[in-house]
Amino acid sequence: MTIDYKIIFTERKSVNIIIDRNSKIIVRAPKRLTRDDVAKVVNSKKHWIYNKLSNSSKPITSPKEFVSGESLLYLGEHYKLRILDEQFSGLRFDNEFTISKSNKSKTKEIFKAWYLAQAKKKFLPIVDYYSDTLGVKYNRIYIKSMKASWGSCSPNKSITLNWKLVKAPLYVINYIIVHELAHLIELNHSEDFWNIVSVQVPNYKKAKKWLTQHGELLELEL
């Protein structure tokens, strides 16, 4: 079986192999390595890759329908949607989502804008709290759509977070944020790295398990 993968050369010190949620293989490698060097590393990890690919299949979940009674995620909880005859703009949230029937055609855009605003409101204080606790300084924070990951930490100390995480429980959000901030101390997923994460988020394994089991729910088309 041939392994197809994409190589991204960066200023890192070691090779990192990622299998994204679409089963695409992304290899991040130091610039000092050649493509042949990378191929040898990938080949040495082929059994691990095959195992991950064989266990990565998930049931296809139907996209949401914007009708009264539909359930949508926010901070790990499901809330019902009600569509009202009343005229009002945007989205209201008070233990349920409500939108005006006159805006039903714009529901997808309204929800995305609301989720993005909530993500910024929730994530930024958490980033600042944990950056102070860890004693690290980041450059910038980006909150946007990400196809292959829930978060990332760039060589220039910028942190990027997937806005769809705002649908997950807070302990999952905390884990992803700490995970990325910890890379400002330890570049690789070494034992020291996981020790840093576990001190800040003792239940990080529970968070990883939640993402494995429910991550596809965060990706549902709005």
User: In this predicted model, what pLDDT tens digit does every residue of 93-127 receive, in sequence order?
Assistant: 999 999 998 888 888 899 999 999 999 999 999 99
Q: Tens digit of pLDDT for each residue in 67-102?
A: 777 778 999 998 888 888 888 888 899 999 999 988
Q: For residues 204 and 178, is the Cβ–Cβ distance under 8 A?
A: yes
Report which DSSP code applies to 75.
Answer: T
At residue 62, the pLDDT reads: 47
Distances (CA, A) of 112 to 18, 108, 118, 145, 202: 27, 6, 10, 10, 31
pLDDT reading at 56 higher than 70? no
Is 33 a domain residue?
yes
Is 83 a domain residue?
no
Task: Give 116's contacts (C-beta < 8 A, 6+ positions apart).
Answer: 143, 163
Task: Identify the three-state secondary structure at position 188.
Answer: coil
Q: Tens digit of pLDDT for each residue in 125-147?
A: 999 999 999 999 999 999 999 87
Domain count, the chain: 2
Name 151's bridge partners: 161
pTM to 2 decimal places:
0.72
Buried-exposed string 35-49: b where 16+ CB fall within 10 A, e elsewhere: eeebeeebeebeeeb
Is 89 a domain residue?
no
* CATH of residue 176: 3.30.2010.10
Measured from the Cβ of residue 212, the count of other Cβ atoms closer than 10 Å reads: 12
Measured from the Cβ of residue 160, the count of other Cβ atoms closer than 10 Å reads: 17
Is 94 a domain residue?
no
Name 91's bridge partners: none
Which of 54, 70, 91 is the last residue before a domain boundary? 54
Domain limits for position 24:
5-54
Structure-block tokens of residue 157? 């100390």
Percent of the chain with pLDDT over 90: 46
Is 154 a domain residue?
yes
Contacts 24+ apart (CB under 8 A), 151-158: 151/176, 151/177, 151/179, 151/180, 152/180, 153/180, 153/181, 153/183, 153/184, 155/10, 155/11, 155/12, 157/184
> pLDDT class for 65, splitting at 50, 70, 90?
low
Is 47 a domain residue?
yes
> pLDDT class for 60, splitting at 50, 70, 90?
very low
Same domain, 38 and 120: no
Same domain, 134 and 205: yes
Three-state secondary structure of 10-64: ECCCCCEEEECCCCCEEEEEECCCCHHHHHHHHHHCHHHHHHHHHCCCCCCCCCC
pLDDT, greater one: 158 or 105: 158
At residue 172, the pLDDT reads: 96
Is 98 a domain residue?
no
Same domain, 135 and 205: yes
Residue appearing with tokens 């901070």: 75
Is 88 a domain residue?
no
